Each structure stands twice: as C-alpha cells, then as structure tokens.
Amino acid sequence: MDEVKKMFRAIVNGQSSMKAELLAKIDVVDKKLSGKIDNLDKKIDGVENRLTKRVDNIGLSLARLEDDAPTRDEHDKLEKRVTKIESKLQIQTI
C-alpha cells in the first residue's frame, strides 16, 4: 500500500508542478497581451476622435452650404427675373 501512496503522491506532485509552470507561462503571455491591448485601445480612441472631428467638420460645411443655397422658390423667381431681363435686352438691341 505504501508503494501505491508513493506513486499517487508522485503523480499529484507532477501535476502540481506542471500546473505551476503553465500558470507562470500564462501570466507572461497575459502581461504581454495586456500591454498590447492597452496600446491598441489608445490607437482606436485616437482614430475615433479624428474621425469624429472630420465628420463634425463635414456636417458643419454641409449645413453652411445648405443655408447659403437658394430654395426652389428663390431659384424659380430668379429664373423668371433672368428671363425678363433677357427679353428686355433683346428688345433694346433691336
């Protein structure tokens, strides 16, 4: 029975040491990845901020263009005025 206990203890000790080695390697990998993930998060935040600023600028430019652009009614009135001026000019040149 002592031999069985010794073999069992040897197996348990081997598994414990293997588990300790694996945990140590996992910790090393985890530390490496956490540093890279932190850097990646910072880069993503920077890209997001720059894209947000770009979209805001484009939206502001579009809003200004929309404010300056004539409406359909204004365009029609302008077209009528141009047509009247053209007809007057033709009468004067004849």
Q: What is the reported pLDDT for 76?
A: 83
pLDDT tens-digit profile of 21-68? 999 999 999 888 888 888 888 999 999 999 999 999 999 888 888 777
Number of domains the chain contains: 1
Write down the residue that tokens 């890209």 correspond to: 47
Q: What is the rounded distance in angstroms from the CA atom of residue 88 to the CA atom of residue 57?
A: 45
**pTM, 2 dp:** 0.44
Give the range of the structural domain holding residue 41, as residue numbers without chain letter. Answer: 2-93
Q: Give the CA distances from residue 42 to residues 35, 36, 53, 56, 77, in Å, rounded to whole numbers and listed in that order.
A: 11, 10, 17, 21, 54
